[in-house]
Each structure stands twice: as C-alpha cells, then as structure tokens.
Amino acid sequence: MVRISGVDLPDQKHIEIALTYIYGIGPTRALEILKAAEVDPIKRTKSLTDLEVSKLRDIIENNYVTEGDLRRLVTLNIKRLIEINCYRGRRHIQGLPVRGQRTKTNSQTRKRERARSGLKKFK
C-alpha cells in the first residue's frame, strides 16, 4: 500500500485517479505531478517502484499544499471573513450560499437545518 501525505492510496486504481484521493489534488494537478515525476498515468498504484513513489512524495510535499495544511488554511480564510464581518463572512455564518447563487428555488442543501444528534423538536 502506497502512503503519500498521510493518505493510503488504493492499490487497484490507476495512479492518476489514486492521487486525487489526497485533499488538494484534483485530476489536472495529478497529471502535472505525474509528468514532473515521469510516471505513466495509466500505471496501477501497486505496480509503482519505490523510486517512483519517493519521487511522487517529494514533488507533492515540496511543491503543493495538501491535506491538513490546506484544510487549516481554508478554515483560517473563512474565520478571517467572519471576523471582518464582510458579506461573504455573514453568508458563512447564516449557512447560505456564499458566491452569489440564487436561493429562492435552489440551495436547499445549504439552507437545510443541520441534523442534531439526540435532540428532538417540540411544538
């Protein structure tokens, strides 16, 4: 099993797809990484050599922000918006769409009341 950035990559998938299991790496970035590491995108994760895995690990850790660091960065950005009390920050607080989407007919998922464990509503 290949482990990169604290994530176990699935053995049976192509490495191009397996890299997208890492938070912060999508399909386009995965191809960029594979091109830089000179690894065939169609190769299965289990068939990678130790040298290829170490190349991938070095490229990802040195050039990209992923997993915990990226999650922390996103959270801090949202907290900053809330603290300065801008429009986007207020939308985050209210649990409504932030980027100008309509709310009259769409955004039901964002507007839905969060499920609370163990609590019941009384009328």
Q: pLDDT tens, position by position, for the chain (123 residues)? A: 889 989 999 999 999 999 999 999 999 999 999 999 999 999 999 999 999 999 999 999 999 999 999 999 999 999 999 999 999 999 999 888 999 888 888 888 877 765 555 555 555
Pairing of strands 2-4, 7-9: antiparallel
State which CATH number among 3.20.20.100, 1.10.8.50, 1.20.1270.360, 3.40.640.10 fits the domain covering 2-64.
Answer: 1.10.8.50
Give pLDDT, residue 105.
86
Domain boundaries, the chain: 2-64, 68-99
Report pLDDT for 66.
92
Considering the entire predicted model, what is its pTM? Answer: 0.78
| Cα atoms found within 13 Å of the Cα of residue 121, Cβ hemisphere only | 5
Query: Residue 111 has what pLDDT?
Result: 77
Kindly list the distances between the CA atom of residue 107 and the CA atoms of 93, 99, 100, 112, 118, in Å, as whole numbers in the listed order.
15, 12, 11, 9, 26
Q: Which residue has the tokens 């990802």?
A: 60
Structure tokens at 47: 């068939």
**How far apart are the C-alpha atoms of 119 and 44, rounded to whole Å?**
47
Give residue 102's region: left, alpha or beta (phi > 0; psi -120 to 50).
beta
Instruction: Give the model's pLDDT for residue 121.
Output: 56
d(CA 18, CA 95): 32
